[in-house]
Amino acid sequence: MKTVLITGCSSGYGLETARYFLAQGWQVIATMRTLQEGLFPPSKNLRILALDVTRPDSILAVLDTAGPIDVLVNNAGIGLFGAFEATPMSTIRDLFETNTFGVMAMCQAVIPQFRERQAGIIINVTSSATLAPFPLVAPYTASKMAIEGFTASLELELKTFNVQVKLVEPGYGPTTRFTANGQQRMQGLIPAAYELFAHSVFAGFANILAVTREIDVAETVWRAASDTSNQLRFPAGADALALMQLA
């Protein structure tokens, strides 16, 4: 039985992905920064562990507890909407600590066991913001674009050890807690000069018909984990698929 470790499983894409792998009969290590009860049905194949991807000691403790894994899914991330002009650099650094450096730290921590076994899959979850530009998400896009380039290079680096590296690129998920989870850090990021423009952007979101559901991402991560080809990028969701075709 294969084992997958998934970060950011408290809600949204990570939660649904963990549930999906469980349903497929995998051993699942679902991690989240703050442990929550009642997210999963009881299962002997499930372990829920606290993990802060910005803390090296937390990463090492989780991997020590987890033991050997077959697949790492780097899903944990934080969102940010706002005018770049008004966004403090401290907020941008916090964003990169989770979305970029946290992913890199997780990869660096698991690569030795994958390399030694000559087997393993790393799946980094980014965003459709890397497929086409969107306004008011410049720092967020930068944090995800960095992982796109990192992953493409890492895939070439680890191929010689039979370790696969994949990207999953979800689209806009209105049913996730992406915006709600970032409310506090987004306060004050739409100054008066940007209000009219921001209102038009947010109004446009209400008219989007092609969106990404949690199950779209879960199924795509599963497909990436099962893929034996050299495919690197896996768009997830109707909108991401459309953007990929236009790219």
pLDDT greater than 60 at residue 215: yes
pLDDT tens string 69-120: 999 999 999 999 999 999 999 999 999 999 999 999 999 999 999 999 999 9
Euclidean distance between CA atoms 177 and 99, whole angstroms: 16
Residue 21 and residue 44 in contact, taking contact as beta carbons nearer than 8 Å? no
Task: Tell me the whole-structure pTM to 2 decimals.
Answer: 0.94
pLDDT, residue 164, reads 98
Alpha carbon distances (Å) from 92 to 59, 65, 82, 100, 219: 22, 32, 11, 11, 31
pLDDT, residue 207, reads 78
Partners of 165 in the beta sheet? 122
* Best CA proximity match to 232, nearest among 143, 161, 145, 169: 169
CA angle 114, 119, 124 (to 5 degrees): 70
Work out the end-to-end distance of the chain between its first and last CA atoms, rounded to an integer number of angstroms.
38
User: Residue 235 — φ and ψ, nearest 5°?
Assistant: -65, 145
pLDDT band with cut points at 50, 70 and 90 for residue 185: low
pLDDT band with cut points at 50, 70 and 90 for residue 243: confident
Euclidean distance between CA atoms 214 and 27, whole angstroms: 20
Find the domain containing 129 and state its range: 3-246
* Class of residue 227 by CB neighbours under 10 A (exposed 0-12, middle 13-18, buried 19+): middle
pLDDT, residue 237, reads 86
Instruction: Report which secondary-structure segment, H or E, holds 50.
Output: strand 46-50
- Number of separate domains in the chain: 1
Question: How much is the CA Rg of the chain, to the nearest whole Å?
Answer: 18
- Average pLDDT on 160-179 reads 89
Residue numbers annotated as active site: 140
Assign residue 159 the CATH number of its domain. 3.40.50.720
